[in-house]
Structure 1
Amino acid sequence: MTEFEPSNEFVSNVMKRVFACEAGLAECRRPLRERLYASRPFRYLMVHCGALFGVLSLPATCL
């Protein structure tokens, strides 16, 4: 079986499109909500708030 070797023109055209797409994505910024959800400190804060809520609501569920 022979290996496929694309032409240089094909590779050049594809890479131009890829660079154009990446440039377009870099220009548009993600919304604040998405950046916040992706941040590690926010996730740690949510975990700790959930644990604190669970500990504080434990006596209410046991009574």
Structure 2
Amino acid sequence: MIAILETLDRGTPRGIRDRAILLIGFAGGLRRSKIVGLDCGRDQTEGGCGWVETLAKGLLVTLLG
């Protein structure tokens, strides 16, 4: 995982986004379908399978179903 993360460019928004997606997926043991279905907030989309909240000490990932 560290080798994969090292290949990403931390100086671009795309690299930062990709890094965040990989870390959330790895830390949560999530499948691709769950990662893709995450929203940035509760009730953002009807078909979302959960959402991510940014807290002072980290993230809270809530998965539905």
TM-score, L = length of structure 1: 0.32
Structure ID, larger Rg: 1
Higher helix residue share: 1
Q: Highest relative contact order (Cα 8 Å, sep 6+), 1 or 2?
A: 2
